[in-house]
Amino acid sequence: MLKYIVVFVSMALAAWTVPEWLESWLLQREGSASAPPPGTLLTSKELSSYSGGEGSKGLYLAILGQVFDVEKGRKHYGPGGSYHFFTGKDASRAFITGEFTEAGLSSDVSDFSESQIVALYDWLSFYQRDYTPKGKLIGHFYTENGEPTEALRNLEAFLSEGLRKKAQAQSEMQLYPSCNTEWSEASGGRVWCSSMSGGIQRDWIGVPRMLFSPGSGHTRCVCIHLTDPVHSENQNLREYKDCPHQAESCKIIKD
Ligand code: HEM
């Protein structure tokens, strides 16, 4: 049970970290989008006869058009299991929306954001790692010749851009980890740095600064390593009012 909770939590965290295996998977895929995928081609009618019930041919599901045998996870996917609704079809959409209704169990992800696409490919990687591939589903993502459809090619471009942005955001979080914050009616607001603030484990603590993001007008409290020369060139950093230059903790004082 704990193993699965860890799997689920790591999937949720995928919105913040770019796993190496996902990047290497993407690299392997680059340039191969037009090559016919290996394995059997199934129609949606054929796939629907693999939902694990009586007289069915097996227990399969599809995600992003790739079909997997999930017999090994029958306790989740078999009739009566919590995730039985995923079987015999491609319900890619519901992996992200969590909408497990008839309308929600769809393969249409055309309105997904880049980060949703990244999270969906994370699920695909999970199935590639834990279950046996059985071929491709003809329809939304693969043609009858097993070629990726335009919809799939567009998604892959989106994925690539989503991963790039995530990597960028990750390296910004390393350079500018967030501060700890607290607020109470009695003493007002306070921000401070610690060697784990912002969830970034480091061997320095840093001092709080306001980091403005030009364009959005958004500000966040970040911890900076005072001796790092990169910060002296950053025009978007400001000290907190009435807070000593080297203080690790600052009270928030309204202007
Ligand atoms: C978008 C929402 C969700 C989706 C798409 C989803 C999907 C899945 C899938 C596909 C599995 C089976 C994994 C496998 O093959 O091993 C699974 C297992 C599991 N999920 Fe979810 N899940 C969602 C939300 C949740 C939530 C909110 C919770 C907890 C409150 C949860 C708790 C679990 C647990 C505990 C298991 C393992 C069950 C067991 O070992 O018996 N899931 N989930």
192/254 Cα distance (integer angstroms): 17
Say yes or no: 150 and 97 in one domain: yes
Q: Which atom of ligand 1 is nearest to the CA of 127?
A: 15
29/99 same-domain check: yes
Mean local confidence (pLDDT), 93-115: 97
Residue 183 has pLDDT above 70, yes or no: yes
| CA 4 to centroid of ligand 1, rounded, Å | 7
**Which residues constitute the domain of residue 233?**
176-251
CA separation for the pair 52, 193 (Å, rounded): 53
The answer to whether the CB of 204 falls within 8 A of the CB of 225 is yes
32 band by pLDDT with thresholds 50, 70 and 90: very low
Index of the ligand 1 atom closest to the CA of residue 76: 12
Nearest CA to ligand 1 atom 20: 8
Residues 134 and 235 grouped into a single domain? no
Q: 69 CA distance to ligand 1 centroid (A)?
A: 17
Give CA–CA dist 125/105, Å, rounded.
Answer: 20
**Whose CA is closest to atom 37 on ligand 1?**
4
> Given the CA of residue 97, which atom of ligand 1 is nearest to it?
1
3-state secondary structure of 144: coil
Into how many domains does the chain fold? 2
Q: Compute the distance from residue 95 Cα to the ligand 1 centre, in Å.
A: 10
**Ligand 1 site, CB within 6 A:** 1, 4-5, 8, 73, 76, 83, 95, 98
CA-CA-CA-CA dihedral for 43, 46, 52, 58, to nearest 10:
-100
Q: Which of 137, 172, 207 is the last residue of a domain?
A: 172
In 78-133, which residue ranges form alpha helices assigned H by DSSP? 92-97, 114-130
Q: Residue 232 — very low, low, confident or very high, per pLDDT cuts 50/70/90?
A: confident
The pLDDT value recorded for residue 254 is 74
Per-residue pLDDT of 185-222, as tens digits, reads 888 899 999 999 999 999 999 999 999 988 778 899 99
The SS3 assignment for 147 reads: coil
Rounded to the nearest angstrom, the distance between the alpha carbon of 8 and the centre of ligand 1 is: 6
Question: In this structure, are 11 and 121 located in the same domain?
Answer: yes
Amino acid identity of residue 150, one-letter, is E
Q: pLDDT at residue 6 above 80?
A: no
Higher pLDDT, 215 or 235: 235
The verdict on 137 and 214 lying in the same domain is no
Over the stretch 113-163, which tens digit does the pLDDT of each residue have? Answer: 999 999 999 999 999 999 999 999 999 999 999 999 999 999 999 999 999
Q: At which of 172, 207, 231 does a domain end?
A: 172
